A = this chain, B = another copy of it.
Amino acid sequence: MSRLDLHPDRMLPADATLRPIAREIYQAVRDLPIISPHGHVPAQWLADDVPFGDPTSLLITPDHYVTRLLHSNGVALSELGVGQPDFTADQSRAAFRLLCSHWKAYRGTPVKFWFESQLTEIFGVNTAPTAETADEIYDAIAAKLRTPEFRPRALFDSFGIEFLATTDDPCDDLASHAKLAADPSWTGEVAPTFRPDKYLEAAGACWNEAIDRLGEVSGVDTGSYAGWVAAMENRRAYFQAHGAVSTDHSHRDARVEPLDDAEAERLYRLARARTITPAEADTLRRNFMFAQARMAAEDGLVMTMHPAVHRNHHPGSFGHYGADIGADIPMQVEFTNAVAPMLAAFGTSPYFQVVFFTIDETVYSRELAPLAGFYPSVYVGVPWWFIDAPEAMARFRSAVTETAGFGRTSGFIDDTRAFLSIPSRHDLSRRVDAGYLAKLVGEHRLTLDEALDTANELVVGNPRKAFKL
Protein backbone atom coordinates (compact mmCIF):
# COMPACT_ATOMS: atom_id res chain seq x y z
CA MET A 1 0.00 0.00 0.00
CA SER A 2 2.92 2.37 0.11
CA ARG A 3 3.06 2.79 -3.67
CA LEU A 4 1.58 6.11 -4.78
CA ASP A 5 0.05 5.83 -8.24
CA LEU A 6 -1.80 8.94 -9.26
CA HIS A 7 -4.41 8.29 -11.91
CA PRO A 8 -4.16 10.62 -14.90
CA ASP A 9 -7.94 11.15 -14.78
CA ARG A 10 -8.10 11.92 -11.08
CA MET A 11 -10.76 14.49 -10.12
CA LEU A 12 -12.56 14.00 -13.43
CA PRO A 13 -16.14 12.67 -13.29
CA ALA A 14 -16.42 8.93 -12.73
CA ASP A 15 -19.39 8.67 -15.07
CA ALA A 16 -18.48 6.72 -18.20
CA THR A 17 -20.24 9.18 -20.49
CA LEU A 18 -18.67 12.26 -18.98
CA ARG A 19 -15.15 10.98 -18.34
CA PRO A 20 -13.92 11.05 -21.96
CA ILE A 21 -15.51 14.45 -22.55
CA ALA A 22 -13.89 15.84 -19.41
CA ARG A 23 -10.57 14.31 -20.37
CA GLU A 24 -10.66 16.00 -23.76
CA ILE A 25 -11.49 19.36 -22.22
CA TYR A 26 -8.84 18.98 -19.53
CA GLN A 27 -6.16 17.96 -22.02
CA ALA A 28 -6.89 21.12 -24.00
CA VAL A 29 -6.09 23.39 -21.05
CA ARG A 30 -3.70 21.30 -18.99
CA ASP A 31 -0.56 22.91 -20.28
CA LEU A 32 -1.71 26.48 -20.61
CA PRO A 33 0.38 28.99 -18.67
CA ILE A 34 -0.37 29.75 -15.04
CA ILE A 35 -1.80 33.16 -14.31
CA SER A 36 -1.77 33.87 -10.58
CA PRO A 37 -3.15 37.33 -9.86
CA HIS A 38 -3.40 36.90 -6.10
CA GLY A 39 -1.07 35.05 -3.74
CA HIS A 40 1.48 35.25 -0.98
CA VAL A 41 4.79 34.08 -2.41
CA PRO A 42 7.53 36.54 -1.36
CA ALA A 43 9.09 38.36 -4.31
CA GLN A 44 12.40 38.11 -2.52
CA TRP A 45 12.55 34.37 -3.17
CA LEU A 46 12.66 35.07 -6.88
CA ALA A 47 14.72 38.24 -6.68
CA ASP A 48 17.45 36.55 -4.67
CA ASP A 49 16.88 33.01 -5.95
CA VAL A 50 17.87 31.58 -2.58
CA PRO A 51 17.70 27.77 -2.33
CA PHE A 52 14.86 26.37 -0.23
CA GLY A 53 15.63 24.77 3.12
CA ASP A 54 14.52 21.43 4.45
CA PRO A 55 11.25 19.72 3.44
CA THR A 56 9.42 20.69 6.64
CA SER A 57 10.18 24.40 6.50
CA LEU A 58 9.13 24.42 2.85
CA LEU A 59 6.08 22.16 2.85
CA ILE A 60 4.67 22.04 6.38
CA THR A 61 5.52 24.88 8.76
CA PRO A 62 4.34 27.86 6.68
CA ASP A 63 1.25 26.17 5.21
CA HIS A 64 -1.74 26.53 7.52
CA TYR A 65 -3.76 24.20 5.28
CA VAL A 66 -1.38 21.47 6.35
CA THR A 67 -0.80 22.41 9.98
CA ARG A 68 -4.38 23.14 11.02
CA LEU A 69 -5.68 19.65 10.37
CA LEU A 70 -2.74 18.10 12.21
CA HIS A 71 -3.51 20.45 15.09
CA SER A 72 -7.16 19.40 15.20
CA ASN A 73 -5.96 15.82 15.24
CA GLY A 74 -3.93 16.45 18.35
CA VAL A 75 -0.51 17.55 17.12
CA ALA A 76 0.91 20.68 18.78
CA LEU A 77 1.76 23.46 16.34
CA SER A 78 5.16 23.75 18.00
CA GLU A 79 5.98 20.19 16.91
CA LEU A 80 5.46 21.34 13.32
CA GLY A 81 7.87 24.21 13.61
CA VAL A 82 5.22 26.92 13.88
CA GLY A 83 6.71 29.83 15.79
CA GLN A 84 9.96 27.89 16.43
CA PRO A 85 12.87 29.93 15.08
CA ASP A 86 15.41 27.42 16.34
CA PHE A 87 13.81 24.30 14.90
CA THR A 88 16.56 21.72 14.44
CA ALA A 89 17.13 19.26 11.61
CA ASP A 90 15.98 16.44 13.85
CA GLN A 91 12.85 18.32 14.75
CA SER A 92 12.16 18.93 11.04
CA ARG A 93 12.43 15.26 10.33
CA ALA A 94 10.17 14.46 13.30
CA ALA A 95 7.59 16.95 12.05
CA PHE A 96 7.61 15.30 8.65
CA ARG A 97 7.02 11.95 10.34
CA LEU A 98 4.03 13.42 12.15
CA LEU A 99 2.56 14.54 8.85
CA CYS A 100 3.08 11.16 7.22
CA SER A 101 1.74 9.17 10.17
CA HIS A 102 -1.43 11.34 10.22
CA TRP A 103 -1.82 11.20 6.46
CA LYS A 104 -5.31 9.69 6.67
CA ALA A 105 -6.56 12.89 8.27
CA TYR A 106 -6.34 14.50 4.82
CA ARG A 107 -8.55 11.99 3.02
CA GLY A 108 -11.17 13.87 1.07
CA THR A 109 -9.34 17.20 1.39
CA PRO A 110 -7.53 19.02 -1.42
CA VAL A 111 -4.33 18.96 0.64
CA LYS A 112 -4.08 15.29 -0.25
CA PHE A 113 -4.34 16.09 -3.96
CA TRP A 114 -1.89 18.98 -3.82
CA PHE A 115 0.67 17.18 -1.72
CA GLU A 116 0.56 13.90 -3.59
CA SER A 117 0.80 15.79 -6.89
CA GLN A 118 3.87 17.60 -5.62
CA LEU A 119 5.41 14.35 -4.46
CA THR A 120 5.03 12.61 -7.79
CA GLU A 121 5.11 15.39 -10.34
CA ILE A 122 7.68 17.73 -8.79
CA PHE A 123 9.81 15.47 -6.62
CA GLY A 124 9.37 12.22 -8.53
CA VAL A 125 8.42 10.40 -5.32
CA ASN A 126 5.98 7.55 -5.87
CA THR A 127 5.64 6.44 -2.28
CA ALA A 128 2.54 7.05 -0.23
CA PRO A 129 3.12 8.91 3.05
CA THR A 130 2.97 6.63 6.09
CA ALA A 131 4.81 6.45 9.38
CA GLU A 132 7.11 3.89 7.75
CA THR A 133 7.86 5.82 4.56
CA ALA A 134 8.30 9.27 6.14
CA ASP A 135 12.09 9.23 6.29
CA GLU A 136 12.48 7.89 2.78
CA ILE A 137 10.25 10.63 1.39
CA TYR A 138 11.92 13.29 3.50
CA ASP A 139 15.35 12.32 2.22
CA ALA A 140 14.22 12.18 -1.39
CA ILE A 141 12.75 15.68 -1.16
CA ALA A 142 15.76 17.05 0.69
CA ALA A 143 18.06 15.71 -2.00
CA LYS A 144 16.07 17.38 -4.75
CA LEU A 145 16.01 20.70 -2.89
CA ARG A 146 19.78 20.78 -3.03
CA THR A 147 19.82 20.69 -6.84
CA PRO A 148 19.83 23.77 -9.09
CA GLU A 149 16.58 22.67 -10.70
CA PHE A 150 14.85 23.37 -7.40
CA ARG A 151 15.97 26.97 -6.98
CA PRO A 152 12.98 29.38 -7.04
CA ARG A 153 13.65 30.83 -10.49
CA ALA A 154 14.13 27.43 -12.06
CA LEU A 155 10.87 26.23 -10.55
CA PHE A 156 9.08 29.40 -11.66
CA ASP A 157 10.11 28.60 -15.20
CA SER A 158 9.32 24.92 -15.06
CA PHE A 159 5.90 25.65 -13.56
CA GLY A 160 5.00 27.74 -16.61
CA ILE A 161 4.00 30.79 -14.59
CA GLU A 162 3.10 33.67 -16.86
CA PHE A 163 2.09 36.16 -14.16
CA LEU A 164 2.49 36.07 -10.38
CA ALA A 165 1.20 38.67 -7.95
CA THR A 166 2.54 39.07 -4.45
CA THR A 167 0.74 40.76 -1.52
CA ASP A 168 2.45 43.76 0.00
CA ASP A 169 2.21 46.44 2.61
CA PRO A 170 1.55 49.92 1.19
CA CYS A 171 4.74 51.15 2.87
CA ASP A 172 6.86 48.40 1.32
CA ASP A 173 9.56 49.79 -0.94
CA LEU A 174 9.05 46.87 -3.34
CA ALA A 175 12.81 46.49 -3.61
CA SER A 176 12.57 42.86 -4.69
CA HIS A 177 10.11 43.76 -7.42
CA ALA A 178 12.44 46.52 -8.57
CA LYS A 179 15.38 44.16 -8.49
CA LEU A 180 13.54 41.64 -10.66
CA ALA A 181 12.49 44.37 -13.09
CA ALA A 182 16.05 45.58 -13.36
CA ASP A 183 17.49 42.10 -13.86
CA PRO A 184 18.00 41.36 -17.57
CA SER A 185 18.33 37.65 -16.84
CA TRP A 186 14.80 37.56 -15.38
CA THR A 187 11.99 37.22 -17.92
CA GLY A 188 9.06 36.39 -15.65
CA GLU A 189 6.37 38.79 -14.52
CA VAL A 190 5.93 39.35 -10.80
CA ALA A 191 3.69 42.20 -9.67
CA PRO A 192 3.00 43.60 -6.22
CA THR A 193 -0.50 43.93 -4.75
CA PHE A 194 -1.51 46.84 -2.55
CA ARG A 195 -2.95 45.48 0.73
CA PRO A 196 -3.85 48.42 2.98
CA ASP A 197 -6.04 46.68 5.60
CA LYS A 198 -4.21 47.79 8.68
CA TYR A 199 -4.27 51.44 7.56
CA LEU A 200 -8.06 51.28 7.42
CA GLU A 201 -8.71 49.84 10.88
CA ALA A 202 -8.44 52.89 13.06
CA ALA A 203 -9.16 51.11 16.34
CA GLY A 204 -6.30 48.68 15.78
CA ALA A 205 -3.47 48.82 18.31
CA CYS A 206 -0.90 49.63 15.63
CA TRP A 207 -2.95 52.02 13.52
CA ASN A 208 -1.38 55.28 14.63
CA GLU A 209 2.08 53.89 14.20
CA ALA A 210 1.19 52.59 10.75
CA ILE A 211 -0.25 55.94 9.75
CA ASP A 212 2.87 57.72 10.96
CA ARG A 213 4.95 55.41 8.84
CA LEU A 214 2.60 55.95 5.88
CA GLY A 215 3.25 59.67 6.22
CA GLU A 216 7.00 59.13 6.22
CA VAL A 217 7.07 56.81 3.29
CA SER A 218 4.73 58.87 1.14
CA GLY A 219 6.14 62.22 2.19
CA VAL A 220 2.62 63.42 2.91
CA ASP A 221 1.49 64.69 6.30
CA THR A 222 -1.02 62.13 7.56
CA GLY A 223 -2.21 64.28 10.42
CA SER A 224 -5.52 64.84 8.65
CA TYR A 225 -7.97 62.72 6.72
CA ALA A 226 -7.11 64.68 3.60
CA GLY A 227 -3.51 63.71 4.23
CA TRP A 228 -4.47 60.06 4.56
CA VAL A 229 -6.18 60.26 1.18
CA ALA A 230 -3.21 61.94 -0.46
CA ALA A 231 -0.77 59.46 1.09
CA MET A 232 -2.85 56.53 -0.13
CA GLU A 233 -3.00 57.95 -3.63
CA ASN A 234 0.75 58.41 -3.49
CA ARG A 235 1.42 54.81 -2.48
CA ARG A 236 -1.10 53.38 -4.95
CA ALA A 237 0.73 55.29 -7.70
CA TYR A 238 4.03 53.91 -6.40
CA PHE A 239 2.67 50.38 -6.55
CA GLN A 240 1.21 50.95 -9.99
CA ALA A 241 4.59 52.20 -11.17
CA HIS A 242 6.04 48.90 -9.92
CA GLY A 243 3.54 46.84 -11.87
CA ALA A 244 0.64 46.43 -9.43
CA VAL A 245 -2.71 45.63 -11.03
CA SER A 246 -4.87 45.28 -7.95
CA THR A 247 -5.53 46.17 -4.34
CA ASP A 248 -6.69 43.62 -1.78
CA HIS A 249 -9.07 44.16 1.13
CA SER A 250 -10.27 42.02 4.00
CA HIS A 251 -12.37 43.35 6.84
CA ARG A 252 -14.98 41.97 9.20
CA ASP A 253 -17.81 43.10 6.92
CA ALA A 254 -18.21 44.17 3.31
CA ARG A 255 -19.73 47.57 3.97
CA VAL A 256 -18.51 50.51 1.91
CA GLU A 257 -20.12 53.80 2.92
CA PRO A 258 -19.00 57.35 2.26
CA LEU A 259 -18.96 60.07 4.90
CA ASP A 260 -18.91 63.73 4.08
CA ASP A 261 -15.43 65.15 4.38
CA ALA A 262 -16.09 66.97 7.62
CA GLU A 263 -17.33 63.85 9.38
CA ALA A 264 -14.47 61.79 7.99
CA GLU A 265 -12.05 64.42 9.22
CA ARG A 266 -13.68 64.47 12.65
CA LEU A 267 -13.48 60.69 13.08
CA TYR A 268 -9.97 60.60 11.68
CA ARG A 269 -8.80 63.10 14.27
CA LEU A 270 -10.45 61.08 17.03
CA ALA A 271 -8.54 58.07 15.79
CA ARG A 272 -5.25 59.92 15.66
CA ALA A 273 -5.95 61.07 19.22
CA ARG A 274 -6.67 57.42 20.13
CA THR A 275 -10.12 58.31 21.39
CA ILE A 276 -12.16 56.71 18.63
CA THR A 277 -14.69 54.06 19.69
CA PRO A 278 -14.83 50.69 17.91
CA ALA A 279 -18.17 51.63 16.34
CA GLU A 280 -16.78 54.93 15.07
CA ALA A 281 -13.73 53.09 13.76
CA ASP A 282 -16.03 50.82 11.76
CA THR A 283 -17.79 53.86 10.33
CA LEU A 284 -14.47 55.40 9.42
CA ARG A 285 -13.22 52.14 7.91
CA ARG A 286 -16.26 51.89 5.66
CA ASN A 287 -15.55 55.40 4.48
CA PHE A 288 -11.88 54.52 3.93
CA MET A 289 -13.10 51.66 1.74
CA PHE A 290 -15.25 54.06 -0.23
CA ALA A 291 -12.21 56.26 -0.69
CA GLN A 292 -10.25 53.25 -1.98
CA ALA A 293 -13.05 52.56 -4.44
CA ARG A 294 -13.05 56.16 -5.61
CA MET A 295 -9.28 55.92 -6.17
CA ALA A 296 -9.77 52.64 -8.02
CA ALA A 297 -12.27 54.28 -10.33
CA GLU A 298 -9.58 56.85 -11.11
CA ASP A 299 -6.31 54.91 -11.23
CA GLY A 300 -7.88 51.69 -12.49
CA LEU A 301 -6.37 49.30 -9.95
CA VAL A 302 -8.74 46.37 -9.59
CA MET A 303 -10.17 45.90 -6.07
CA THR A 304 -10.44 42.45 -4.55
CA MET A 305 -12.52 42.04 -1.41
CA HIS A 306 -12.72 38.96 0.82
CA PRO A 307 -14.48 40.05 3.97
CA ALA A 308 -16.02 38.37 7.02
CA VAL A 309 -13.40 36.19 8.65
CA HIS A 310 -13.00 36.05 12.42
CA ARG A 311 -9.22 36.33 12.60
CA ASN A 312 -7.22 34.56 15.31
CA HIS A 313 -10.27 32.82 16.73
CA HIS A 314 -8.27 31.13 19.50
CA PRO A 315 -6.53 33.83 21.58
CA GLY A 316 -4.28 31.33 23.31
CA SER A 317 -2.82 30.04 20.06
CA PHE A 318 -2.52 33.59 18.74
CA GLY A 319 -0.56 34.49 21.86
CA HIS A 320 1.79 31.54 21.39
CA TYR A 321 2.12 31.36 17.64
CA GLY A 322 0.80 34.59 16.13
CA ALA A 323 -1.44 35.02 13.09
CA ASP A 324 -1.93 32.84 9.99
CA ILE A 325 -1.80 29.52 11.80
CA GLY A 326 -5.14 28.18 10.58
CA ALA A 327 -7.26 29.65 13.37
CA ASP A 328 -9.14 32.16 11.22
CA ILE A 329 -12.81 31.14 11.03
CA PRO A 330 -15.24 32.47 8.41
CA MET A 331 -18.46 34.25 9.29
CA GLN A 332 -21.65 35.00 7.47
CA VAL A 333 -21.37 37.88 5.01
CA GLU A 334 -23.76 40.27 3.29
CA PHE A 335 -22.94 42.01 0.02
CA THR A 336 -26.17 43.28 -1.58
CA ASN A 337 -26.71 46.17 0.79
CA ALA A 338 -23.12 46.46 1.99
CA VAL A 339 -21.64 47.37 -1.38
CA ALA A 340 -24.65 49.28 -2.72
CA PRO A 341 -23.17 52.74 -2.05
CA MET A 342 -19.93 51.77 -3.78
CA LEU A 343 -21.71 50.38 -6.83
CA ALA A 344 -24.14 53.30 -6.92
CA ALA A 345 -21.14 55.57 -7.25
CA PHE A 346 -18.76 53.52 -9.41
CA GLY A 347 -20.57 50.38 -10.56
CA THR A 348 -20.76 51.51 -14.16
CA SER A 349 -17.58 53.62 -14.19
CA PRO A 350 -15.35 52.58 -17.07
CA TYR A 351 -12.14 52.10 -15.02
CA PHE A 352 -13.68 50.55 -11.94
CA GLN A 353 -13.47 46.79 -11.36
CA VAL A 354 -14.02 44.78 -8.21
CA VAL A 355 -13.78 41.04 -7.50
CA PHE A 356 -15.79 39.70 -4.56
CA PHE A 357 -14.43 36.61 -2.84
CA THR A 358 -16.27 34.78 -0.10
CA ILE A 359 -16.18 31.68 2.04
CA ASP A 360 -19.89 32.08 2.71
CA GLU A 361 -21.25 30.08 -0.21
CA THR A 362 -24.79 31.32 0.38
CA VAL A 363 -24.06 34.58 -1.39
CA TYR A 364 -23.04 32.98 -4.68
CA SER A 365 -26.49 32.46 -6.15
CA ARG A 366 -28.28 35.00 -3.98
CA GLU A 367 -26.04 38.06 -4.22
CA LEU A 368 -22.80 37.76 -6.15
CA ALA A 369 -24.07 36.20 -9.36
CA PRO A 370 -26.95 38.71 -9.58
CA LEU A 371 -24.52 41.60 -8.96
CA ALA A 372 -22.02 40.34 -11.54
CA GLY A 373 -24.89 39.64 -13.91
CA PHE A 374 -25.82 43.31 -13.99
CA TYR A 375 -22.77 45.44 -13.16
CA PRO A 376 -20.01 45.46 -15.80
CA SER A 377 -17.54 46.26 -13.00
CA VAL A 378 -18.27 43.25 -10.80
CA TYR A 379 -16.58 39.84 -11.02
CA VAL A 380 -17.32 36.85 -8.83
CA GLY A 381 -14.20 35.48 -7.25
CA VAL A 382 -13.78 31.73 -7.56
CA PRO A 383 -13.71 29.56 -4.42
CA TRP A 384 -10.84 30.50 -2.25
CA TRP A 385 -9.17 29.48 0.99
CA PHE A 386 -11.27 26.88 2.80
CA ILE A 387 -13.42 26.19 -0.24
CA ASP A 388 -10.62 25.97 -2.79
CA ALA A 389 -11.53 22.30 -3.25
CA PRO A 390 -13.16 20.13 -5.91
CA GLU A 391 -16.70 19.82 -4.62
CA ALA A 392 -16.83 23.42 -3.47
CA MET A 393 -15.60 24.49 -6.89
CA ALA A 394 -18.36 22.44 -8.50
CA ARG A 395 -20.94 24.02 -6.16
CA PHE A 396 -19.59 27.43 -7.13
CA ARG A 397 -20.01 26.84 -10.86
CA SER A 398 -23.46 25.42 -10.23
CA ALA A 399 -24.49 28.41 -8.11
CA VAL A 400 -23.02 31.18 -10.23
CA THR A 401 -23.12 30.12 -13.86
CA GLU A 402 -26.86 29.94 -14.38
CA THR A 403 -27.24 33.60 -13.40
CA ALA A 404 -23.95 35.20 -14.44
CA GLY A 405 -22.53 32.85 -17.05
CA PHE A 406 -18.85 31.92 -17.10
CA GLY A 407 -17.49 35.26 -18.22
CA ARG A 408 -18.21 37.19 -15.04
CA THR A 409 -15.95 35.03 -12.85
CA SER A 410 -12.39 35.83 -11.86
CA GLY A 411 -10.32 32.91 -13.10
CA PHE A 412 -8.53 30.69 -10.62
CA ILE A 413 -6.78 32.24 -7.63
CA ASP A 414 -4.25 30.11 -5.75
CA ASP A 415 -3.83 32.58 -2.87
CA THR A 416 -0.97 30.55 -1.52
CA ARG A 417 2.35 31.02 0.19
CA ALA A 418 3.16 27.38 -0.62
CA PHE A 419 5.08 28.05 -3.83
CA LEU A 420 5.47 24.42 -4.81
CA SER A 421 1.73 23.82 -4.60
CA ILE A 422 0.91 26.40 -7.26
CA PRO A 423 0.94 24.02 -10.25
CA SER A 424 -1.19 21.43 -8.47
CA ARG A 425 -3.69 24.05 -7.33
CA HIS A 426 -4.17 25.37 -10.85
CA ASP A 427 -4.24 21.81 -12.17
CA LEU A 428 -7.01 20.89 -9.74
CA SER A 429 -9.06 23.87 -10.84
CA ARG A 430 -8.65 22.94 -14.50
CA ARG A 431 -9.72 19.37 -13.80
CA VAL A 432 -12.80 20.42 -11.85
CA ASP A 433 -13.89 22.98 -14.41
CA ALA A 434 -13.37 20.39 -17.13
CA GLY A 435 -15.69 18.10 -15.21
CA TYR A 436 -18.33 20.78 -14.88
CA LEU A 437 -18.15 21.63 -18.56
CA ALA A 438 -18.29 17.94 -19.45
CA LYS A 439 -21.57 17.70 -17.57
CA LEU A 440 -22.98 20.57 -19.63
CA VAL A 441 -21.85 18.82 -22.80
CA GLY A 442 -23.22 15.48 -21.63
CA GLU A 443 -26.57 17.11 -20.94
CA HIS A 444 -26.49 18.85 -24.34
CA ARG A 445 -26.41 22.26 -22.75
CA LEU A 446 -23.18 23.16 -24.50
CA THR A 447 -21.55 21.74 -27.59
CA LEU A 448 -18.07 20.36 -27.14
CA ASP A 449 -16.68 23.29 -29.11
CA GLU A 450 -18.41 25.73 -26.81
CA ALA A 451 -17.04 23.87 -23.80
CA LEU A 452 -13.49 23.85 -25.15
CA ASP A 453 -13.64 27.55 -25.82
CA THR A 454 -15.07 28.19 -22.36
CA ALA A 455 -12.37 26.10 -20.66
CA ASN A 456 -9.73 28.16 -22.37
CA GLU A 457 -11.41 31.39 -21.32
CA LEU A 458 -11.59 30.27 -17.69
CA VAL A 459 -7.87 29.60 -17.57
CA VAL A 460 -6.57 32.48 -19.63
CA GLY A 461 -9.24 34.95 -20.69
CA ASN A 462 -11.07 35.49 -17.41
CA PRO A 463 -8.10 36.36 -15.18
CA ARG A 464 -6.74 38.69 -17.84
CA LYS A 465 -10.09 40.45 -18.03
CA ALA A 466 -10.86 40.52 -14.32
CA PHE A 467 -7.37 41.73 -13.39
CA LYS A 468 -6.73 43.84 -16.50
CA LEU A 469 -3.58 41.93 -17.45
Q: A residues near B, CB below 8 A?
A: 1, 6-7, 9-18, 68-69, 71-74, 104-110, 112-113, 310, 313-317, 326-332, 334, 336-337, 340, 343-344, 347-348, 359-362, 365-367, 369-376, 378, 386-387, 389-392, 395, 397-399, 401-408, 439-440, 442-447, 449-450, 453-454
Contacts and interface: CB of A to CB of B under 8 A. Distances in A.
A395 B396 CA distance: 13
Residue among A316, A332, A450, A453 facing the most chain B CB atoms (10 A cut-off): A332
Contacts of A390: 402, 443, 445
Contacts of A7: 444
A264 B375 CA distance: 40
Contacts of A9: 444
Nearest to A9: B444
A457 to B, nearest CB: 8
Nearest to A112: B445
A315 B344 contact: yes
A374 B10 CA distance: 28
Given A365-B392, A439-B14, A314 B402 contact: no
A306 to B, nearest CB: 13
B107 A405 contact: yes
A367 B329 contact: yes
A334 B401 CA distance: 25
Given A329-B336, A334-B332, A348-B317, A444 B11 contact: yes
B402 A110 contact: yes
B105 A407 contact: yes
A6 B446 CA distance: 10
Contact of A108 (B330, B348, B402): B402
B365 A386 contact: yes
A278 to B, nearest CB: 14
Given A1-B449, A313-B340, A386-B365, A401 B109 contact: yes
Contacts of A398: 391, 395
Contacts of A313: 336, 340, 343-344, 371, 374
Given A314-B348, A359-B366, A402 B373 contact: no
A7 B448 CA distance: 13
B402 A109 contact: yes
A442 B14 contact: yes
Q: Which 9 A-B pairs have the closest CB atoms?
A: A14-B442, A389-B402, A7-B444, A10-B444, A108-B401, A391-B398, A329-B336, A329-B370, A14-B17
B374 A387 contact: no
B443 A348 contact: no
A391 B386 contact: no
Contacts of A69: 373, 404-405
Contact of A72 (B112, B113, B389, B408): B408
B314 A347 contact: yes
Nearest to A398: B391
A226 B340 CA distance: 38
A14 B15 contact: yes
9 contacts: A1-B447, A73-B407, A113-B445, A310-B337, A313-B344, A329-B367, A361-B365, A365-B392, A386-B402
A150 to B, nearest CB: 27
A435 to B, nearest CB: 8
A312 B182 CA distance: 50
B11 A445 contact: yes
Contacts of A348: 314, 316-317
Given A326-B373, A373-B69, A402 B407 contact: no
Residue among A316, A360, A402 facing the most chain B CB atoms (10 A cut-off): A402
B359 A314 contact: no
A367 B330 CA distance: 6
Contacts of A14: 15, 17-18, 439, 442-443
B376 A72 contact: yes
B330 A373 contact: no
A358 to B, nearest CB: 9
